[in-house]
């Protein structure tokens, strides 16, 4: 098991079976981020995960910036699969800063990758 706390005090945990969980500092529930198997991070995103203004998809920053033992991301978005090398995400992603309207709220820090880049890795 591997645990990493991001700068917002959110906890990202890699369980022994490869499941990755996120526990926001301000919530009592655990969210499923994805699963790692054979050095591939499997992630599912729905349409609501698209940041329309930048036409990009967000990925947990702590997961990308720490060694969670994967080289590739298999993203399933709107029924289409993409196989993205981790280094593409590391080299081309960017942070977005959202206004915190709730005092004390802790958001998941994410790095976003443009759909223009993601589309190049359709499988």
Residue 49 pLDDT: 73
In whole angstroms, how far apart are CA 97 and each of 42, 77, 87? 25, 23, 22
Q: What is the rounded (10 degree) CA torsion for 20, 26, 28, 31?
A: -30
Cα 65 from chain centre = 10
Q: pLDDT in tens for each of the 123 residues of the chain?
A: 899 998 888 999 999 999 999 999 888 999 999 999 999 999 998 767 788 899 999 999 999 998 899 999 999 999 999 999 999 999 999 987 665 555 555 578 889 999 999 999 999
Note the pTM of the prediction, 2 decimals: 0.86
Return the domain boundaries, the chain: 35-121
Residue 107 pLDDT: 74
Q: Kind of pairing, strands 19-23 and 31-37?
A: antiparallel
Residue 26 pLDDT: 86
């Amino acid at each position: 098991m591997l645990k990493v706390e991001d700068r917002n005090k959110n906890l990202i945990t890699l369980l022994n079976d490869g499941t990755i969980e996120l526990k926001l500092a301000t919530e009592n529930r655990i969210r499923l981020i994805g699963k790692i198997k054979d050095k591939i991070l499997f992630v599912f995103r729905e349409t609501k995960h698209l940041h329309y203004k930048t036409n990009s998809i967000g990925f947990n920053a702590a997961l990308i910036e720490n060694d969670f033992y994967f080289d590739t991301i298999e993203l399933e978005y709107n029924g289409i699969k993409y196989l993205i090398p981790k280094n593409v995400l590391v080299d081309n992603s960017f942070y977005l800063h959202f206004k915190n309207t709730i005092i004390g709220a802790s958001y998941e820090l994410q790095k976003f990758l443009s759909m223009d880049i993601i589309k190049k890795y359709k499988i």
